[in-house]
Structure 1
Amino acid sequence: MQSIEVVQKSIVYLEDHLLTPFTLDDMSDYLEESAFHINQSFTMITGMNIDEYVYSRKMTEAAKYLLNGNYRLVDVAEKYGFNNAHEFSTAFSEFHSISPLQARSNPERLKMQERIYLQLSVTQTPPMHYEIKPIDNIEIVGKSIRLSNEDLLNHFFIPDLIYNENRDGLIDTLLKISSDNKLYVTLQPVFNGVQLFLGVKSPRTYEYETSFIHSMNYAIFYSRGNLDYIFNEMWHSIERQVDLQINYLRNEQYIYVFPGDYAFDNDLNKVELLIPVSKA
């Protein structure tokens, strides 16, 4: 139940820091967990990433503050971290779809996000199928990419990475020298972000950077879908259901595997996700 424990601790931290500026680096240090997994588990279980939850909670508490007292907008803006009354009023109106001045007369229209709590529930939907296999070291060649913890707040950072590198022509070039016509993206949580490597199996190691898929046991998930959504759907099942069944290793290397003929306008791309698991 590592994911549930991470989310429980995250909620407490976020509620304690609603009015205190912090970064994912700060949160990671305090919880002694990688920012990748904090945001990943939180997003998959709650449906919101860290930033989205904090912002919606702040706007909810600001609305309550307005309803319960005769405060000047400039005072409310200062309390909730805005530079001035105009900036706060604009943000409030965009979030709640009514202005701060309309809040008292239309409280039913306010979009309120109360603090969330976790509870266990049951479902008749089975978890995503997987198989556990040992994988030997695999050498891949390609490009190393580093993302910061703030980059992880993008729900689509993996598809965006593929899209950008495909647009720049790197992926087509790599696939031409691939020995199995597959694209590999490895992800390794590190101190202040994630280290990614985009590459292919190929003997032509002298032209590109080189990396390795580590030898260990992996839970291998196979699915079909649109590249913009399929990996979030897979992780959603892993964090909410599969994590209760297997002990996956949270700070090791993860591997995303794409077919060479993948396409962003194809809703049936066959993709794989390999996550490391303990032998026990």
Structure 2
Amino acid sequence: MDWLDKMNNAMDYIESHLDDNISYDKIAQLACCSVYHFQRMFPFITGVTLSEYIRRRRLTLAAFELQTTGEKVIDVAIKYGYESPEAFTRAFKNLHGVMPISARDKGVSLKAYPRMTFQISIKGDIEMNYRIEQREAFKVFGVYAEISRDQEQAFTQVPLFFKKCDEDGTTDSINELLGRFHDNYTISALYDYSETSFKYMLCNYLPNGLSIPSKFTTLTVPSSTWAIFDVPECEMQSMWKRIWTEWFATSEFE
């Protein structure tokens, strides 16, 4: 219950500040985690990034106000954080499919995104095999793509990225540099998270002294404590969600 209470406290804060500045530091503080951890965890739990959730809630409330009050469009736009009527109009139309002024028309169809709450559901009935290891720093090399933090888009973009690497010979090139001919074994690295995207690297371990072509990117992974989970490849996406919602929620790790 403690984890649920913390997450709902964070959502309470967001809801009460939709017409004001929202501090990501405060959200993370209420959830008792770092901003980095909260921003990574939120999309896996909800299927939408934190910034997108806030945007949808603000535009939902903006539509309600335009429908039920005589407020000017510019005043509603400023109230919900838009610096100009043009920016508000673009965002409103992208979400609702109509111009803000049309929200007052009879019979107009608008979208409403309800406030999120976190509740108990029955989980934990399936075991998760993991181990904790301390590993020294190491390097990987490969190629990367910018992937959206919107979960639905990411689930489409990542397979397309893998397919492209297979078709253009990148996967083979990575393994051939390591002396692995006719081998399609690779690993993945996810890093450089922003509010809207992250880098997804198709890569492999870089041995000391190996010279690699300039077309590949090198990434240094610092010495860290690792949680290593055993998971079939076909269940990777569902395991990511279980790690964030079940394992982190009950472990002492962040």
Class of the TM-score when normalised by the shorter of the 2 chains: 0.5 to 0.7
TM (norm. structure 2) is 0.66
> Which is strand-richer, 1 or 2?
1
- 1:121-270 mapped onto 2 (5 Å cutoff): 121-122=121-122, 126-127=125-126, 129-132=128-131, 134=133, 137=136, 139-142=138-141, 153-155=149-151, 156=154, 159=158, 163=162, 166=165, 171-178=171-178, 182-187=185-190, 199-201=203-205, 203=207, 205-208=209-212, 209=218, 211=220, 214=223, 216=225, 218-225=227-234, 231-247=236-252, 249-250=253-254
1:258 is matched with: none
1:31 is matched with: 28
C-alpha change, 1:37 and 1:116, in structure 2 (3 Å) is same
Aligned residues: 238
Shift of residue 76, structure 1, vs aligned partner: 2.1
Instruction: Map Cα deviations across residues 256-279 of structure 1 (whole Å, 9 max, x no partner).
Output: xxxxxxxxxxxxxxxxxxxxxxxx
Taking the aligned partners of 1:97 and 1:196, their CA distance within structure 2 comes to: 32
> Which is helix-richer, 1 or 2?
2
C-alpha change, 1:4 and 1:144, in structure 2 (3 Å) is farther
Amino acid at match of 2:240: W
Please give the secondary structure, in 1, of the residue aligned with 2:233: strand
C-alpha change, 1:141 and 1:165, in structure 2 (3 Å) is farther
Taking the aligned partners of 2:71 and 2:112, their CA distance within structure 1 comes to: 19
1:46 is matched with: 46
TM (norm. structure 1) is 0.61
Q: Which runs of 5+ in 2 are unaligned?
A: 213-217
Shift of residue 62, structure 1, vs aligned partner: 0.6
Which deviates further from its counterpart, 200-209 or 38-47? 200-209
Q: Which runs of 5+ in 1 are unaligned?
A: 251-280
Amino acid at match of 2:44: M
C-alpha change, 1:14 and 1:240, in structure 2 (3 Å) is same
Amino acid at match of 1:205: G
Taking the aligned partners of 1:46 and 1:215, their CA distance within structure 2 comes to: 28
